[in-house]
A and B are shown apart, each in its own frame.
Chain A
């Protein structure tokens, strides 16, 4: 039995949309110079994808890279491989000013899926969720009501949310409230 448990132990709720805690994910904060060839090569080696464009997430065969700021990426990898990827990044970027930190355990991850997923998120995050404005591959570092969070949309129409682990219960309760079955807005669903 693994000693590692996620903050909500996989809780889920079905309302206007389905809200699920998706468990532990490998996450690395990577800071550095996006324009550097070494940096780009290191990101590719870590995730199989390139440095994403502003407010985008790019997926590769070993993970994904999401744009957090002009000098910060969030790399998504297997939970168990995060330390090894950090070590490899540090090696690849040894001669460059950079920072790679495993933050997998600092986080809680949720998925919001279903027809009204866009509406549920639009109730708590100040982001334009209109189809065409927010599509698969888009990524936002924003807030969910009173806490910081980031999210993206995958190809299957599910939204994925990352927040700090300490506020996992708040985030879950918040999303469930926004997904109350009788609270449909009727704009995106």
Chain B
């Protein structure tokens, strides 16, 4: 059984007991425990069920490489699935639930999969099993698989995460990722040069695993050296140290993400839960250590089988032993440390099985001297299935697994050698080289990730570089820190030698299968990827079926595709693949390492962007007034515009109809502040605008306005609006609401990249002005009344300010610019005042307008009024494929101009095709409203057996003024088919019949606007 030891536990505080629960069971641990160590202390060996076969699973590791111990943490709005027990610090009241089992962790029905169906659930089984019969996938297979597969459950969709998150931008010369002895030494070396250094450590404590492994540095034991070095670094102004912060990803240009977990160990303490560090580092040192590899023997997934170094972590760090009778299996010297540690803690080591015929070095001698039985050339044939280790069958390594000796044990410590953590090195293109002696891939310093200058920006330090002995690690780290500082532009340092002591180790032996020629029965029980349930036999099957690329094999077998991204399984898996293919391991290569190193929370990625600041909301100066007067909001880009002002007792539709009638009959006010207002000035401004607009703007007289169209260089209509000439060299271009920023960028792009020698400046003055459309038969009256009240103002008569003219002056005491332009067909003024005075001006209009029947109107009314007049709307009549000719706007295409953007494109055969659909008005035969976006059908069918389409609806409304549905649409040969009735099948099954008519439904002569 696993239990707490009387002594040991350098990270726990035995005076502080903590209560927590696992699957509702109340358990106790100590401050400093991880959830994993606390579970082991309570003999909770079984922590979850596997993904596919629902095999019982226990802890394999002690750090972020742990594949099995994933739990659901917390509840309600703080519930989070798939949290690793090994990286979860214990806190009072922690509530964890195991995952992926039904009905309970102890008794799981899905485990039958493993017993009876496992030979069907091999690599690629989804593809093979479920492809026929076709309908079964959707209705039978998928629901079944979704029920039985999968990891944790998703949080309740009705709840919102109770925590907050944030980002933090940081800049430094040298970023050190990893706060083990290598990281600390690298930081020390780098900092000595005066470089600004940031050190990130994912755990809550410094020093990594050296205190567990032993050895001395500068004459001090590891703990003492770490304490001294951390104190030295803390005292330096140019060094910043952060624990609980993981280096998550390395990106181009020295951009690094750090993931700080602020309150995971103390939920509810206030403040952000996670902080995402967005770091720009000139140089990055990855001191990320190494990960021990499992050995591939049958039953290597039975709870109680653990990585050897992790087992000694549990003993030394948390005073917990996973078993009382332990078998150690290894191909290298390091695992002997576990035997010594266990022995010193009073745990019986029943056998050390060393695959090497020649055995180990100094450490092995030490183990033998302790009286522990060491057998060389021996291996584990099989660990007996069950919820924990009970029996271990032993055989010769160099055989098929026969002639077994069975011994009793309750835990197995395994070590298949060590692989450097190369993930961060590799994220941005660092290449690897195969180290035959250590049987691992390590970073190739000659092929580092390179920055904008083609020079390396990542350096590895310590075990992450490849060396595994303390002396080599410290020497490498000291050099790495100095190298990084120098590469970051600091003066070169001479690297002082770090005095260390460690033991001589015998060479390890590459062991990819245990025993070496294990038969198929054993291989089918030998796990490579614990989390995704991939076995040796699956990879071998994939190879037999022709999967030669490691990337393809990964996807076919799902090896390394789980949330641990194959930290334990990748090297073992590709070694099996290489063996099956008869290829060298380096020829097979690795899969791609992608950030993040370890899953990070979605909350951290989103940062502060939630609730009110999820997205910026753009508000006009009159926003609050609209909001308090019944505005039904419509999003237009990031703006919110009133769709209609709904009065009590009204529906939105009622409100729209009221506004539509009132604006035609009396007086309407529209907040038009969101319309883009781009000021274009310079000696070449006229020439520039002639290129941008399809019609002529250079000939416009100061004081006059002209409606213009803008096309992309491909000829498609992209924006429209009224242009006013302000003076000899200045124009003001109105754009659509959504077009303001886009067209500003469009103008700047042409000026900066193509016509860089033209003397033109552009400023986006959209937000400088509040603009109000004063519309309706009483428009002039209300403005003249305001002037009368103010004792004078600009002359707004037809004579003084004619249609399509503008003028500066005062209205009602406000400094204003008035445009006689109309998007409604009514007498209309658009008045621009300073944004800061927008609300005051609006108030004045509302007050003065009372006697004239004033009502504000929203965007839907605006749309209906323009549709009654047959005016097009960018985004309704256009969709990126429409050219002005389609809309009958030939009059706005200058024939005189030599060129404008889009002109050449519009002469291409497809653009000039008379069969292009063209704009017409549509009137339903019965007066009903055509469905938006409906297609008109013609004769015959297309190649897919669908009816041929001959047109579509682009705008459709109920017109309260005409008391009928009105619509515009693009119809093949439309203008030549006036009076014809065409069919529009609706989604409701009804066929809508509409007559093709002129698109101007109201006041065809335009008398109303010209009074």
Contacts and interface: CB of A to CB of B under 8 A. Distances in A.
Of A29, A123, A165, which is in contact with the most chain B CB atoms at under 10 Å from its CB?
A165
A24 interface: yes
Grouping DSSP codes into helix (H, G, I), strand (E, B) and loop, the A interface class, with mixed when no group exceeds half, is loop
Given A97-B683, A170-B616, A123 B167 contact: yes
Given A147-B616, A173-B612, A122 B767 contact: no
A182 B271 contact: yes
Interface string B873-884: 000000000000
B608 A4 contact: no
A165 B616 CA distance: 12
B39 to A, nearest CB: 31
Pick the 9 closest A-B CB pairs, nearest first.
A182-B271, A4-B836, A106-B767, A99-B761, A3-B840, A166-B618, A105-B835, A128-B171, A170-B616
B164 A165 contact: no
A36 interface: no
B679 A105 contact: no
B836 A6 contact: yes
B766 interface: yes
Interface in B670-715: 679, 681-683
B836 A5 contact: yes
A187 B271 CA distance: 16
A183 B766 contact: no
Given A103-B763, A126-B278, A167-B616, A182 B270 contact: yes
B944 interface: no
A101 B763 contact: yes
Given A101-B768, A128-B280, 15 more contacts: A3-B814, A3-B837, A4-B834, A4-B836, A31-B763, A104-B768, A105-B835, A106-B767, A122-B170, A123-B168, A126-B169, A169-B619, A177-B608, A182-B269, A183-B166
Interface in B227-249: 240
B295 to A, nearest CB: 44
19 contacts: A4-B837, A5-B836, A5-B839, A99-B681, A101-B763, A101-B765, A105-B836, A106-B766, A123-B169, A123-B608, A125-B169, A133-B171, A145-B609, A164-B618, A164-B767, A166-B618, A177-B608, A177-B613, A183-B271
Nearest to A129: B169
Contact of B679 (A32, A101, A182): A101
B767 A165 contact: yes
B164 A167 contact: no
A140 to B, nearest CB: 12
A183 B639 CA distance: 30
Contact of B616 (A5, A130, A146, A182): A146
Interface in B302-332: none
Contacts of B240: 187
Interface in A120-169: 122-130, 133, 145-147, 164-169
Interface in B145-183: 164, 166-171
A41 interface: no
A162 to B, nearest CB: 12
A103 to B, nearest CB: 5
A102 interface: yes
B272 interface: yes
Nearest to B673: A166
A29 B744 CA distance: 15
A105 B768 contact: yes
B761 A31 contact: yes
A62 interface: no
A166 B637 CA distance: 13
A140 B429 CA distance: 32
B519 to A, nearest CB: 58
Contacts of A147: 616
Contacts of B164: 177, 180, 183
Contacts of B682: 97, 99
A98 interface: yes
Given A5-B839, A177-B608, A105 B615 contact: no
A146 to B, nearest CB: 5
Size band of the interface chain B makes with A: 35 or more
B270 A99 contact: no
B837 A166 contact: no
Contacts of B766: 106
B278 to A, nearest CB: 7
B275 interface: yes
B746 interface: no
A166 B838 CA distance: 13
Contact of A130 (B171, B269, B761, B769): B171
B7 interface: no
A147 B617 CA distance: 10
Contacts of A187: 168, 170, 240
A165 B673 CA distance: 12
Contacts of B168: 119, 122-123, 185, 187
A174 interface: yes
Interface string A99-119: 101111111000000000001
Contacts of A128: 169-171, 280
Contacts of A174: 608, 613
B814 A145 contact: no
Interface residues of A, number: 51
Nearest to A97: B759
Nearest to B639: A166
Contacts of B768: 101-106
Interface in B611-649: 612-613, 615-621, 638-639
B763 A123 contact: no
A178 interface: yes
Contacts of B679: 99, 101
Interface in B897-932: none
A103 B171 contact: no
A132 B571 CA distance: 47
Nearest to A107: B767
Given A105-B769, A126-B169, A98 B620 contact: no
Contact of B608 (A126, A145, A165, A182): A145
Nearest to B196: A130
Contacts of B271: 180, 182-184
Nearest to A27: B768
Nearest to A119: B168
A185 B612 CA distance: 23
Interface in B179-230: 196
A183 B616 contact: no
A97 B683 CA distance: 7
Given A123-B167, A124-B167, A178-B608, A183 B272 contact: yes
Contacts of B170: 122, 128, 187
Contacts of B166: 123, 177-178, 183
A113 B618 CA distance: 26
A177 B765 CA distance: 29
Contacts of B837: 3-4, 105
Nearest to B680: A99
A36 to B, nearest CB: 13
A29 B609 CA distance: 31
A53 to B, nearest CB: 21
B115 to A, nearest CB: 52
A66 B634 CA distance: 37
A165 B835 contact: yes
Given A122-B168, A174-B608, A182-B270, A166 B767 contact: yes
Interface string B578-609: 00000000000000000000000000000111
A3 B843 CA distance: 11
Given A5-B839, A97-B759, A123-B168, A105 B834 contact: yes
Nearest to B167: A123
A86 to B, nearest CB: 11
A99 B767 contact: no
Contacts of B196: 130
B763 A185 contact: no
A124 B608 contact: yes
A183 B275 CA distance: 9
Most chain-B CB neighbours within 10 Å: which of A105, A125, A127? A105
